[in-house]
Amino acid sequence: AQTVTQSQPEMSVQEAETVTLSCTYDTSESDYYLFWYKQPPSRQMILVIRQEAYKQQNATENRFSVNFQKAAKSFSLKISDSQLGDAAMYFCAYSLDNTDKLIFGTGTRLQVFP
C-alpha cells in the first residue's frame, strides 16, 4: 500500500528562524510526484512546492525548499526566514505517474511565534 507519514503532529518556530517538516512515503514505483500543501485557518489548500521523483535536484520556491532523498523515501520541507503568515497545517502528498490521485499524510501543524 502507498502511504505517506508525517511524524510531527505539531512544530513551532520563531519568526525569522528556519524550520524543517519531515515526510516519508512508501512506494515500490520509480516514477511519482511529491507535493507539499499548506492549509491556513481559511481551509484553502495551497500548493507550496512540488518535486518530480526523476529529478535529483531539490525543488525550491523562494523561502521554501525540499530535501528529497529518493533512496530513503524522504521528502522534508524547509522553511527559511519563517513569517507569521506561514502558520498553518502542512500536508505532504504523493502521486504515482500513472494515476491522478493524491495520497496525503496526516499533516503537521506549524506555529510561528513572534
Partner 1 sequence: DTAVSQTPKYLVTQMGNDKSIKCEQNLGHDTMYWYKQDSKKFLKIMFSYNNKELIINETVPNRFSPKSPDKAHLNLHINSLELGDSAVYFCASSRRSLAEETQYFGPGTRLLVL
Contact set with partner 1 (CB under 8 A):
33, 35, 37, 39, 42-47, 50, 52, 89, 91, 95, 97, 99-104, 106-107
Cβ nearer to partner 1, comparing 16 with 47: 47
Cβ nearer to partner 1, comparing 79 with 88: 88
Shortest Cβ distance from residue 68 to partner 1 (Å)? 16
Shortest Cβ distance from residue 3 to partner 1 (Å)? 12
List of E strands, the chain: 3-5, 10-14, 19-21, 24-26, 32-39, 46-52, 60-61, 64-69, 74-79, 88-96, 103-104, 108-113
- Which of 37, 18, 21 minimizes the C-alpha distance to 74? 21
Shortest Cβ distance from residue 16 to partner 1 (Å)? 27
Q: What is the DSSP letter of 102?
A: -
Cβ nearer to partner 1, comparing 6 with 82: 6
